[in-house]
Structure 1
């Protein structure tokens, strides 16, 4: 007697295994119902490419012509042509589907698949029983719902972490440019968490613990930001409004601040001898002192900043927030801060932002380069060619007309 090949032996073992299972009859199913169940099985079990295509082809082969159970009998050659793979791949895919419990093999004694009418007039079908798809449909629906819920949770975590990361970054940038506060520890934590946070979706996904760590870091950064003394901006009261001018930074002796010593070897006597007389000192430019009420009335678009603006600190924060919308670079902001101070830079950015909005709303589109226009405003204010107070007053009159 001829010895059977290993492939045939595997098929026979699969037949014996599936036939030993308890067959639970199911109601007659249509082709659409089987396709829906097969699609759910694909998503729930994460089937590979070949089994995924084969299970859909088996569902499509069902004619729904009155069989007691949904049984199909396509040959491996037919499935290989439909799926576009070799017959060996089809054999392996069918074995995977049997192992997953999605189909039951019901071959004839000589391992063939066909349909015939028996001696008693009853129809006999040898092939693949697809009833497990229908019996497990509720299970697949539950698993798919859990998968979708997990995806939504990952999306939420990524949005939360992204928001907290921006909060930390904005706070650190503001502190680095406008304060002497020591942010080394916060920057180190920011770098560590950034390395631990995957840029793209991974198999393990984002953990809630990581989101909690980002939230704590954002709170710590904003707490340090709130501790910075707003009086550094030297607020002064003017009739009917609050005015401010560029800060005169001084050294701080707190635990969280660096103390910078002057890099000079001049003695006190030499300093006294070289002191410039007060009357010879240049007079302060008139646009160094800005009326906060004037800025708010002249630039109503500043309300795009989501927080209320009640002080110089809020105005600087608004200017930093609106700067990307003008396409001005961070280097341009830093250079302007070094030249004219943070408050005046913020006012110039807000003024440029309002002019850009007015140009867009008018429909003329006369400003071709937003970034170039904003940088020209910053350079003009720094050089004294643009009096920002005069420009704001003119812009306020234009908006009141």
Structure 2
């Protein structure tokens, strides 16, 4: 009803070929077709990035649709709504009239509604003798029906792109976790490999990652990280295989030795005694080194408890942060800040959480806390939430970084002391 009539706008507003094309398309609506207006509106919200409208324009469209009396849009029931600007403003959450006019123009320009202006520019409806609406002037929702299939297709594409982006980020997160864990194994077990090159390559890759990265970039990044993970897994697999071979060779050697004659065993007893002596000497040297490390840690603890902490003490308590500095090292506070930015992204700490902490505790303390969080990342479920909690406590003088550093230093003392006790 009324949607098949071409119309031009009232006053000085002009008309373009694009607006006429929208009206031509709206004349070809199937009279028997009806569409749930709110399902169509939700699809329009999903397709918004490709329709060239803002979220506030959608708020105005939502208000216009709310004036349509039926639950389904159809040609049979008419497609023109005629609320006043004051009524529209109330349903658009009090939007100012000037802003309302601008967003109405944006919806017309995007081809989602059509102006059907009366001779004097007013919006109203005329009724016939039976009480039905014979003519209505206002805004026609006919383009929503004529473009319903297009809007639904765009919405499905947007949803699929969003899910694809989410899957890419999940896979990248898994790759990053595997690479970090593989690196920890390699360092802890002193496995041979070009780990410095791999670490530098990893830091270079993730330094360019941010929350606004698009799917094409994430696909390339995922491919590079997958190659890096595969390379590390291959090195670890080779190490495991070599360990198996060494273990089999050792077992074979034991079998051969046990089959020798008793006289041969007796001849080799002096050599065995020398071997035991060498083992005891090595154990004594290791114990001496451990005691020295413990004494140094005790000095660090005493320095932290009396005064504060310097960069060297921080790196002794949190050595993992050095892996993410420029060139794989932290030489000064600027290097620590660079490493903190990398780790912040890796642990999914938001920029707002970092800025709030920096404002409350200072740049050095904030990056030092991030280094501590990295050390405890295996037991901290939400690094961003943990940092926000510490920030709030620091504002009320309930938190100081000193106890955290002292706890990490004590933990390192314990780890140094345990081997020494086992050798005694």
Report the TM-score, using the length of structure 2 for normalisation.
0.52
Residue of structure 1 in register with 2:86 after alignment = 77
Residue of structure 2 in register with 1:54 after alignment = 60
Q: Give how far 1:282 is off.
A: 2.8
Which one of the candidate residues 126, 131, 137 is aligned to 2:142?
A: 131
Residue of structure 2 in register with 1:221 after alignment = 232
Which one of the candidate residues 160, 164, 179 is aligned to 2:191?
A: 179
| In 1, Cα distance between equivalents of 2:67 and 2:18 | 21
Q: What RMSD in Å do the two structures reach over aligned CA positions?
A: 4.5
Shift in alpha-carbon separation, 1:167–1:21, aligned structure 2, 3 A: closer
After the TM superposition, which parts of structure 1 deviate over 6 Å for at least 4 consecutive aligned residues? 11-16, 119-122, 329-332, 371-377
Structure 1, gaps ≥5 residues long: 1-6, 239-275, 286-328, 333-370, 388-401
Report if the CA contact (8 A) 2:169-2:218 is conserved: no
* 1:382 aligns to 2:424 (yes or no): no
Residue of structure 1 in register with 2:381 after alignment = none
Residue of structure 2 in register with 1:296 after alignment = none
The 3-state SS of whatever aligns with 2:194 is coil
Which is helix-richer, 1 or 2? 2
Residue of structure 2 in register with 1:117 after alignment = 127
Number of equivalences:
267
Shift in alpha-carbon separation, 1:16–1:45, aligned structure 2, 3 A: closer
Report if the CA contact (8 A) 1:71-1:130 is conserved: yes
Of structures 1 and 2, the one scoring higher in RCO (CA 8 A, sep 6+) is 2
Aligned residue runs from structure 1 range 2-401, under 5 A = 8-10=11-13, 17=20, 23-27=27-31, 33-46=36-49, 47-64=53-70, 68-83=77-92, 84-117=94-127, 123-177=134-188, 178-196=190-208, 198-202=209-213, 206-228=217-239, 230-231=242-243, 235=247, 237=251, 279=277, 282=280, 381-384=418-421
Q: Give how far 1:130 is off.
A: 0.7
| In 2, Cα distance between equivalents of 1:330 and 1:226 | 29
Q: Give how far 1:27 is off.
A: 3.9
| In 2, Cα distance between equivalents of 1:25 and 1:281 | 92
Q: Give how far 1:180 is off.
A: 4.5
| In 1, Cα distance between equivalents of 2:195 and 2:282 | 33
Shift in alpha-carbon separation, 1:28–1:234, aligned structure 2, 3 A: same
Shift in alpha-carbon separation, 1:207–1:283, aligned structure 2, 3 A: closer
Report if the CA contact (8 A) 1:158-1:206 is conserved: no
